[in-house]
Every structure is written in C-alpha cells, then in structure tokens.
Homo-oligomer: A and B are copies of this chain.
C-alpha cells in the first residue's frame, strides 16, 4: 500500500479513537448526572431541615447524605479512569481543570454538611454552596459536550447538557419558591429571581427540544403528569404575582416543594433515557466506523492485489481505472469529514452562544454591580429595544468591553 492509503486508514482510525473517547465521556456524564440529582435532593432536604430549625427531615437528610456519598464515589471512580497521561483526551486541559474544581468542592462537602447539621447556616447560604458545587459538575458535562467530534453525538450531548441545566434551574426554582412561601410573604427581589429561573429553565428545555428526535420527546412527554404541571403553574402564579409584602399561606411551602419534587423526579427518568440513548448512540457509531474501516481495508487489499507487486520500497503503481477508484475513496472520505465538521460547527454554535451570553452577563455583573438576574434582564431588554437576538447583543457588549481600556 502506498502511504496515501495508510493515511486514509489512519484518518478512519482517528475517528474510531475519538468515538471511543466520547463513549467513555458519556459514561462519565451519566454518573455525574446521578450525583447532580442526589445533590439536588440533598439541597432541598437540607433547606427544609434548616428552615424548620432541625425539626423536619433530620433522618431523610442523613439518608440522602449517604446516597450522595455513594454517587460521589462513582464519579470519583470515573474521574480515575480518565486518561490524564497520553494527551489523547480532546479538550483535556479544560476538562481536567473542571474536574479539579469539582474535586475541590467535594473535599469541602463534609465541612458544609457539618455546618448544616449544627444549623450554623441559613437555608440561603446552604443553597448557594450546593448551587456552586452542582454548577461545577455541570461544567464538566459542558466540556464533555464541547469536546465531541461527531455531530450526532454532539447533538445528543448538547440536548443532554441543556436538559440537565434546565433540571438544575428547576431545582433552584423549587428552593426559591419554597423559601418565598415559607417566609409567609412575597418580596420583589425573590419574585424577580423566581421569574428568571423559570425563563432560564424554559430556554434550556427549548434547546433540548430543538436537539432531540421524536422518540426522545415522546418519552419525555409520557413521563410528564399534566396535573402536576397544572398545580405547579398555579403555585407559580400565586407566588410570582403576589403583591410585595402581601401575606402568603406558609403551608403552601410544602405543597410547592412536593409538587416540584414530583416534576424533578420525573425529569430524572427522562435524563436516564437520554443517557441510555447516548450510550447506545456511541456504541452504534463505533461499530459502524469499525465496519467501514474493515470494508475500506478489504477494498485496499483488493486494489493492492490487482495492482501487482512493485519493487521493495517502491510505491505500488496502479492503472488509471484503479487510480480513479482510490481517488474516489480518498475524496469521499474528505468530503464526508468536511460535511461532519460543518454539521458539528452548527451544533456547537449553540454551546458557543451560551458561553458568549454567560460572559456578557458576568461582565455586566462585575462592571455594574448587578445580580445575575438583573444582568440577564438588561441584556434581554437591550435585545428587545434594538430588535436584535440575545447573542448579538451579548457579542456587542463583549466587543465594547474589549474596546474599553483594561481595568475600567
């Protein structure tokens, strides 16, 4: 075989190697999802425990801590399987530094739990700590999605990441609403945050829908209980539209909490379907790529035989007919890879949009001392006023910041 054929095979083997890496990453995403779910429950239970001054959910909390510990051990075991040595992991630098952040946060978890047990924290402080830890875990999933080189798998990862992120906003909404009802009265900042969490959730689930096929969406739909949805919407309306300082029934706190929990648990079953799909997709693509490689190698050996022997160390000479077959194969492969790369660019544009909006939000928060909700609202208002897309406004904000002198 001449070396061009070796490169043809090497290109295919690279594809297989990347798919195998993606399969391992998908496993990691799966266990991370389970830990996130366990932590979301622990956050909710800890909130009620702290809010009731240790009266309620004491045992559930201890049980859930054990559940989290088990899920965390699985995540640590998957981290240990990551190939940190050979430089084969795409996006390794960013993925590993995200892992380091998560490991740090997990190391500080016992101290956090100690302070919850002794009620040395407010529910809000505990929530913030859990939100940060879960954000770190979701950042690992984001990097995994951002490293996919196969457009179909990339789509599945983008859908899964957005679903997980949407579910996390739903979890934060549960905490936010529970705190509002428990306090017995609505205040404007909390209502603003609540509405922000609903919007963020909806936009994540919209991306999830855009990137999911009909079968997944049907499974998703089947898992939803319409009466739970209706009850949640009713409570949202009560909580979000109550006039500031108007009295709310504190008993609604538990109703709200249980309603949200049912919805979030249903989401976890959808997430499990997504993860299982992702794993199957990886397996199928690996099998397919291996088959294609075998076919290709068979054709190449066939061609070599037809071409007859050349002197040792001399490139094999093919007739014009064989030359055309080889050229066709080489070109077909390059075109297929190009098409895949183009498709990948399109899928990853969604991830890039998220990064740009996050950065613009961060910039507004730092420069104008805004909360996250206010920063998001500012961007959205600018987009509406200027009749432009959110991403365009976010890009304009970043461009403006670059044009300003540093330190301003």
Interface residues of A (CB under 8 A from B): 2-8, 10-15, 17-18, 21, 76, 79-80, 84-90, 92-101, 103-104, 107-108, 149, 315, 323, 326-327, 330-331, 333-334, 337-338, 341-342, 345, 352, 355, 359
Contact = CB atoms under 8 A, between A and B. Distances in A.
A34 B13 CA distance: 30
B86 A86 contact: yes
A262 to B, nearest CB: 35
A310 B74 CA distance: 23
24 contacts: A2-B107, A3-B79, A3-B80, A3-B103, A4-B99, A5-B100, A7-B79, A7-B97, A10-B84, A10-B85, A11-B100, A14-B84, A14-B93, A17-B92, A21-B87, A87-B88, A88-B88, A93-B149, A94-B341, A97-B330, A97-B337, A101-B331, A107-B315, A345-B352
Task: With a 10 A CB-CB cut-off, give which of A6, A11, A86 has the most chain B CB atoms.
Answer: A11
B11 A107 contact: no
A87 B18 contact: yes
A92 B3 contact: no
Given A10-B96, A104-B327, 16 more contacts: A5-B100, A7-B99, A7-B103, A8-B97, A17-B87, A17-B92, A18-B87, A86-B88, A93-B149, A97-B330, A97-B334, A98-B334, A100-B333, A101-B334, A341-B355, A345-B352
B4 A100 contact: yes
Interface of A is mostly: helix
A12 B100 contact: no
A93 B18 contact: yes
Contacts of A342: 355, 359
The 8 lowest CB-CB distance pairs between A and B, nearest first, are A4-B103, A14-B92, A17-B87, A10-B84, A11-B96, A7-B100, A14-B93, A11-B97
A299 to B, nearest CB: 14
A120 B213 CA distance: 56
Contact of A4 (B8, B12, B85, B104): B104
Q: What is the copy number of this chain in the assembly?
A: 2
B14 A96 contact: yes
A198 B98 CA distance: 47
A9 to B, nearest CB: 8
Contacts of A337: 93-94, 97
Contact of A104 (B21, B330, B359): B330
A149 B94 CA distance: 11
B103 A11 contact: no
Given A88-B87, A93-B12, A107-B2, A330 B7 contact: no
Task: With a 10 A CB-CB cut-off, give which of A85, A107, A333 has the most chain B CB atoms.
Answer: A107
A234 to B, nearest CB: 40
Nearest to A102: B4
Contacts of A12: 93
A330 B94 CA distance: 11
Nearest to A399: B346
A101 B337 CA distance: 13
Contacts of A2: 103, 107
A24 to B, nearest CB: 13
Contacts of A8: 96-97, 100
Contacts of A98: 334
Nearest to A330: B100
Contacts of A330: 97, 100-101, 104
Given A86-B86, A86-B88, A327-B104, A97 B333 contact: yes
A94 to B, nearest CB: 5
Nearest to A108: B323
A2 B337 CA distance: 41
A126 to B, nearest CB: 19
